[in-house]
Chains A and B, each alone.
Chain A
Amino acid sequence: DSGVTQTPKHLITATGQRVTLRCSPRSGDLSVYWYQQSLDQGLQFLIQYYNGEERAKGNILERFSAQQFPDLHSELNLSSLELGDSALYFCASSVLAGALNEQFFGPGTRLTVL
């Protein structure tokens, strides 16, 4: 158990819908990362927050947005869902920003878009 929690574990929804994925980082970690894992694209970085502020952005679609709240939990919002958004979404956390800091991964949220 990494100490990072993600809810829900599974999510099944229809095209065009909007969903919210939630992540609680390890106690004391200030940085949160979101990654998407799909069969065709592999594991791709989406976005990073550090202490409530966006720190880095990767291949995140405009239909996707995220935020980190004052209690440091984070939410990833996916809207206008398409079949291709079906994937495993991981959240990771680290104490500080910067690649020197080990990232601890949550168990993921499996999103299925029908």
Chain B
Amino acid sequence: AQSVTQPDIHITVSEGASLELRCNYSYGATPYLFWYVQSPGQGLQLLLKYFSGDTLVQGIKGFEAEFKRSQSSFNLRKPSVHWSDAAEYFCAVGLYGGSQGNLIFGKGTKLSVKP
């Protein structure tokens, strides 16, 4: 069965420092991959997605992610974190090639930003 692992439950970084959030997936083929962000009391917002092609994808708010097939990973990065980036981040996979659209989410990584 498909699964998504986000090994880090909570990460704290200083404002201006770089960030990398890890995501590993288990799936028989290349899935569709997503990163969502959830601010306190809010719904989820899509940061970026990977379907095919260039393995480095750019998203909103200065985020990028790199798909590495050999490592079954899709890590999220940002070169310089802002205080407003404090939120919870979810990696998700979607079924490839099907008409079902449901996503499988990781448990999330909570990001705290130190001033």
Task: Please indicate the chain A residues that have their CB under 8 angstroms from the CB of B41 in the complex.
Answer: 107
Chain A binding surface SS class: strand
Q: B105 contacts the other chain (Cβ, under 8 Å)?
A: yes
Q: B84 contacts the other chain (Cβ, under 8 Å)?
A: no
Contact, CB under 8 Å: A55 / B45: no
Task: Please indicate the chain B residues that have their CB under 8 angstroms from the CB of A33 in the complex.
Answer: 101-103
Cα A98 to Cα B98 with chains together (Å): 6
* Count of chain A to chain B residue pairs whose CB atoms are closer than 8 Å in the complex: 72
A48 with B45, Cβ < 8 A, contacts A42-B107, A43-B108 known: no
Distance in angstroms from A111 CB to nearest chain B CB is: 15
Question: Using a Cβ–Cβ cut-off of 8 Å, how many residues does chain B contribute to the interface with A?
Answer: 26
Q: What 1/0 mask marks residues of chain A from 72 to 90 whose CB sits below 8 Å from any chain B CB?
A: 0000000000000000001
A108 with B101, Cβ < 8 A, contacts A42-B106, A42-B107 known: no
For chain A, give the interface size range.
20 to 34
Residues 36-66 of B at the A interface (beta carbon under 8 Å): 36, 41-46, 49, 51
Cross-chain pairs A/B with CB under 8 angstroms, 5 sampled: A42-B106, A48-B102, A55-B101, A56-B102, A99-B98
Q: Which residues of B pack against A, CB within 8 Å? A: 31-32, 36, 41-46, 49, 51, 90, 94-96, 98-108
Q: Which residues of A pack against B, CB within 8 Å? A: 2, 4, 31, 33, 35, 42-45, 48, 50, 55-56, 58, 90, 92, 94, 97-108
